[in-house]
Structure 1
Amino acid sequence: MQNNCLFCNIAKGIINSEKVYEDDEFIAFNDIKPIAKIHILLIPKKHIISMQYIDDSDTELLGKMMILISKIAKLHCNINGFRLINNSGFIAKQEIMHLHFHIISDSNILK
């Protein structure tokens, strides 16, 4: 974990968040600037800057993350679907340099 990383500080409990899920490896919480009725961020507690920085050692972690996305969506999202977004790097408008996925759902965003 990085001391100056916002998401690492959320994972450590230094910064409060509206958690919807937490285990030893991941935390999911409501986005503070949601673009839809349901806008959850899922992060690994391990500091990885972005998808550009993953390697073979992250295979198991990312597999678990994908399964967890599905579980969180089933609990919190519209039953008809959800949008999954990952911005990787500055050019893709990644604002926090810590790997994260946006899980987004409501009746308007999916049209």
Structure 2
Amino acid sequence: MTSDFYCDEALSGRTPIDVVRETKNVLAFHHTRPYWQIHIVVVPKVHIPSLTDLAGHDVSLVYDLLDVVRDVAAEVEAQYGACRVVTNLGRYQDSKHLHFHVGFGEQRK
């Protein structure tokens, strides 16, 4: 397993995070370096490399993850009138730990 921010920092507690939602299998928190005005990251609590590589984990973990993504996105959309949900794969994926970005607003400078 390669190192990644989510396992090594956010999930380990080494980097402080502002938790938005937490379940048995999923953690949602405000991005530590937000790209948008509202930028929430949703991750599984176990290392899953990507949406296309579940590393042997049961797909039910992805369902749990998407359930939290849906709830967080619905809250952002209700509060701000719009929302984006993004995940990246391959060379677009900086951290090789499955995660979704839930965002609103313009790019921060």
What count of residue pairs does the alignment treat as equivalent? 104
1:1-111 equivalences in 2 (<5 Å): 4-9=3-8, 10-54=10-54, 57-75=57-75, 77-79=76-78, 80-90=81-91, 93-106=92-105, 108=106
* Structure 2 stretches lacking a partner, 5+ long: none
Shift of 1:95: 0.9
> Per-residue displacement from partner, 1:63-106 (whole Å, max 9, x unpaired)?
1211111211233x13233111010121xx21111110000123
The structure carrying a bigger strand percent of its residues is 2
Measure, in 2, the Cα distance between the counterparts of 1:46 and 1:62: 11
* Runs of 4+ with deviation above 6 angstroms: none
Structure 1 68/32 Cα, relative in aligned 2: closer, same or farther at 3 Å? Answer: same
Q: TM-score, normalised by structure 1?
A: 0.78
Q: Percent identity?
A: 26
Give the TM-score, by structure 2 length. Answer: 0.80
- In structure 2, C-alpha distance between the alignment counterparts of 1:97 and 1:28, rounded to whole Å: 17
| Partner-residue secondary structure (3-state), 1:78 | helix
Q: Tell me, which stretches of 5 or more residues in structure 1 are unaligned?
A: none
